[in-house]
Structure 1
Amino acid sequence: MTHPYLQGASVPRILAHRGLTGPDQVAAGIVENTFAALAAAHAAGAEYIESDCHLTRDGEVVLFHDTDLARVTGDPRGLREVVLAELETIMADRGGLVTLAQALDAFPDTRFNIDVKAADAAVPAGRIVAPAAERVLLTSFSDERRRAALAAAVAARPEQRPATSPGSGTVVRLLAAVRFGARRRVTRLLDGIDAVQVPERRGPLRVVTRRLVDAVHAAGTEVHVWTVNDVEDMRRLVALGVDGIVTDRADLALAELPAAG
């Protein structure tokens, strides 16, 4: 049965990568994963927002991609070294810090794709998203972190688990199974998986092929590709059969890709 996260939304699914930080936002000093970036994506019409989460020193789950503040703020400290109040001050003129709980509350009609970036954030993130499990997909490059977050969500609310996509280890095994035509193994690997979220290429390896798309679809699962910012690439991938596009330019994707409803 299709997870509620995927029901009643437009296809192809446009996932606003870390919100929306197009030219207008950048000119205004807005950075990724902030309240302003999420609000810009929402205003552009994005039904889905992809984001990342870490834990602060005082145990708050915040939307932030990197393990440290260096790239975004110039501060070399790690997220785990900073308390929430200080991080809010640092991010105030960059678009505003958002906790995971605040994001879910502030955008009640938005579906969130949350990548758990730190092991210590997995359990608290799972508990936070549990009440909104119908509109959340939990993922991580680490299958262990992903499973820990899912388990925490289900423990908090057994009647509805969040949607999920596989970690890197499962994706590697999936690609091998597809290559060798092992359909039963593909089905087993995708049991409980709602979307396979992958890059089009990984170095010289082409990940997204018609064969992969067909095999994943045969198992009742979607394919979402990240991170695609060129409109022609988006169109080519949709023509190939992918179901979702993760993009920094959700505004362009929503304007240029026809929605199937």
Structure 2
Amino acid sequence: MNSQPEIIAHRGGLWPGMSENTLEAFAAAHRAGVGWMETDVHASADGVLFAAHDADLDRIAERPHRIRDLPAVELDRIDLVAGGRLPRLNSLFDELPGARWNIDVKAPHSIGPMIRTIRTAGAEERVRLASFATSTLRHLRSGLPGIRTSAGTAETALFTLGALPGVPDRGLAPFPPGLDALQVPRSFKGMPVVTAGFVERAHAAGLLVHVWTVNDAAGMRALLDLGVDGLVTDDVMEGLKQLGEHSRPTDGPPENEE
């Protein structure tokens, strides 16, 4: 386990005059002192991966197209509503060599390009792959043996069952090779997910606990008090502030006077 929890910049974080998931946003987070960047990827029509959460360009660029329907050279030229352009994933690897990347592979057609991009860039030690879908994770783990991954939805659910009487603490299924983190919301359908027991069982099993997406200071403090290993946040500066205050040593009791 990490002795010090981390801030993970959600889509690079939200910064004035910058779009999410752009080189400018990721660079701002990295300059602020964040080591891990969270992003999502979609492949273009010709198999080039771009950092983008949505499958289409409607919200971010007001364009009625899906990323997978356009070639990379055309995607390179599209201006985003809040500034900047969609970055290619391999360009992010090149431009920010000191950053590490938590990458959510959103769609099956991006699996092959993801495997090729990591191999070509030699980025195996700089990434953690994620997906809600078990099938996507299975293909990624097969194509990149030993690659670091977080748990998918089904894997997380099986682990959560370990809190029930008579069920092993590690849950109902063995962990696949490379699994190193549970990345979860604070709650699901009104039920708390991240509890002291959840964190304790995860750590006992050798897994990190990362919580998304946490933007309020009180929530950050509460989760840090529970011992989570990472906060995925849009508010990078607030996250770093809370992390610094949480890790600051407290004054010990005064020494006895003679």
Match of 2:131 among 140, 153, 156: 140
> Displacement of 1:136 after TM fit?
0.7
| Structure 1 SS opposite 2:50 | strand
Map 1:1-261 onto structure 2 (within 5 A). 11-22=4-15, 24=16, 28=17, 30-91=18-79, 94-130=83-119, 131-154=122-145, 161-180=146-165, 182-183=167-168, 185-186=170-171, 188-192=173-177, 193-258=179-244
1:147-200 Cα offsets, whole Å, 9 max, x none, are 21232223xxxxxx3311111111122222323452265384434320100000
How many residues align? The count is: 243
Whose relative contact order is higher, 1 or 2, with alpha carbons under 8 Å and at least 6 apart? Answer: 1
Using structure 1 for the length normalisation, give the TM-score: 0.86
| Structure 2 SS opposite 1:31 | coil
- CA distance in 2 between partners of 1:18 and 1:143 (Å): 22
| Structure 1 SS opposite 2:9 | strand
- CA distance in 2 between partners of 1:180 and 1:44 (Å): 44
> Displacement of 1:75 after TM fit?
1.4
Residue 190 of structure 1 aligns with an amino acid whose one-letter code is F
C-alpha contact 2:162 2:172 (8 A) present in aligned 1: no
Using structure 2 for the length normalisation, give the TM-score: 0.87
More helix by percentage: 1
Runs of at least 5 residues in structure 1 that lack an aligned partner in the other structure: 155-160
Partner of 2:253: none
1:76-101 Cα offsets, whole Å, 9 max, x none, are 21111111111111136722221111
- CA distance in 2 between partners of 1:53 and 1:182 (Å): 36
Q: Considering only aligned residues, what root-mean-square deviation do their CA atoms show, in Å?
A: 2.1
Identity %: 38
Runs of at least 5 residues in structure 2 that lack an aligned partner in the other structure: 249-258
Closer/same/farther in 2, CA of residues 185 and 46 from structure 1, 3 Å limit: closer
| Structure 2 SS opposite 1:183 | coil
Residue 218 of structure 1 aligns with an amino acid whose one-letter code is A
Residue 99 of structure 1 aligns with an amino acid whose one-letter code is R
C-alpha contact 1:100 1:125 (8 A) present in aligned 2: no
- CA distance in 2 between partners of 1:67 and 1:116 (Å): 11
- CA distance in 2 between partners of 1:180 and 1:55 (Å): 44
Larger radius of gyration, structure 1 or 2?
2
C-alpha contact 2:19 2:80 (8 A) present in aligned 1: no
Greater Cα shift, 60-69 or 184-193: 184-193
- CA distance in 1 between partners of 2:214 and 2:184 (Å): 11
C-alpha contact 1:36 1:96 (8 A) present in aligned 2: no
